[in-house]
Structure 1
Amino acid sequence: MSENDTPTTVSESSETKDRPVLKLNCFLPYQLSHLAETVSRSFSKIYAEKYGIGIPEWRVIATLGEYEVVTARDVSSSTSMHKTKVSRAVAALEKRGFVARDKNPDDMREQTLRLTETGIAVYEDIIPKALAYSEGLQAALTPGQQELLNEIFNRLHQAARERDIE
């Protein structure tokens, strides 16, 4: 079944009478998640084969490339990845020599993370490809649609924060 196919049921007409039905392909949280996964998997082909890293590792590298020195907690917060996933990604990157840990001078119980020279080279190799990939996606939209999409993202982020029950 393709993503645009609607599953059929034996008693499709009666099910809506008896109970509410959620059509997953029309459910906004699913649509957003599915799109994000599709884009992430597609983009990961740019770095996965050449560098042997996955999506979580890329997100750590991108965060460190942007902010230079941060804690794992900062990475988790900025990427919305669970701290366990960040920890595994950092360990894998450290083992590959892409990331180094240092003691946080402000809190000796905590470590800061930074890209090594090798990690910086990986980041600098991927960034032009990442920007071109992003531009390619945006090219599917008119400038007005791009502006509207940014507004929609901002509104959805705000609405989700307002509904956050954690």
Structure 2
Amino acid sequence: MDFKLETFLPYRLNQAAERVSQRFAAQYRSRYRMTRPEWRALAALGSYGRMTATEIGANSSMHKTKVSRAVRALEEKRWLKRSEDADDRRFEHLELTPAGRRIFTEMIELAHAYEREMAQLLGAGALEQLEAGLAAIEAKLPGTMPLRSSRE
């Protein structure tokens, strides 16, 4: 039975995603002392507005423990605030504070600069091919979890 892990598509996609993610993480880690789960939670809240921790986990494919730690860290930095659901006390809504929105805006500028750096590194043709390939995967293998729940 012939099998080479290094040519197995899921393995290669994971390795490529990890390299790209680590390279970007090094930038925001040094500037903001932020972990990847914190970045993902901040990005979700900045992009979609008020969410629950469960929605953040579904949006970012993070385990609830990582979401919980990230939320706590963002709250300690005063970048996030919690509010109890008026109808169901089991739910907490999370949203960015004004300071959190300012950091998110700065992070988006950093993210755009990183995308430009990656485009230059890969070249326009390779980047277009990569984007087309990712779009094909996303179209043929849609995710099972919603980005946002119907609960507001």
* Short-chain TM bin: 0.7 to 0.9
Task: Give a deviation string over 1:80-122, Cα, whole Å, max 9, x none.
Answer: 1122211111112112222111112353320111111221221
TM-score by length of 2: 0.82
Tell whether 2:130 aligns with 1:149. yes
Q: Distance in 1 between matches of 2:12 and 2:85?
A: 40
Task: Compute the displacement of 1:31 (Å).
Answer: 0.8
Residue equivalent to 1:53: 34
Count of residues paired in the alignment: 143
Unaligned segments of structure 1, at least 5 residues: 1-19
Matched, 1:132 2:102: no
Identity level (%): 37
Match of 1:103 in 2: 84
1:22 aligns with 2:3: yes
The CA distance in 1 between the partners of 2:87 and 2:57, in whole Å, is 19
Q: Which amino acid aligns with 2:20?
A: V
Give the aligned partner of residue 86 of structure 1. Answer: 67
**CA shift for structure 1 position 161:** 4.4
AA in 2 matched with 1:124 = T
1:62 CA drift (Å): 0.8
Unaligned runs of 5+ in 2: 145-152
Residue 73 in structure 1 maps to residue 51 in structure 2: no
Q: Quick one: distance in 2 between partners of 1:32 and 1:101? A: 35
Please name the residue that 1:7 is paired with.
none
Question: RCO higher in 1 or 2 (8 Å CA, sep ≥ 6)?
Answer: 2
CA distance in 2, matches of 1:22, 1:81: 30
Amino acid at match of 2:133: I
Question: Secondary structure, in 3 states, of the residue corresponding to 1:46?
Answer: helix
Match of 1:44 among 11, 16, 25: 25
One-letter code of the match for 1:141?
G
Partners of 1:27 and 1:35 in 2: CA distance = 12
- Aligned partner of 2:12 among 31, 48, 56: 31
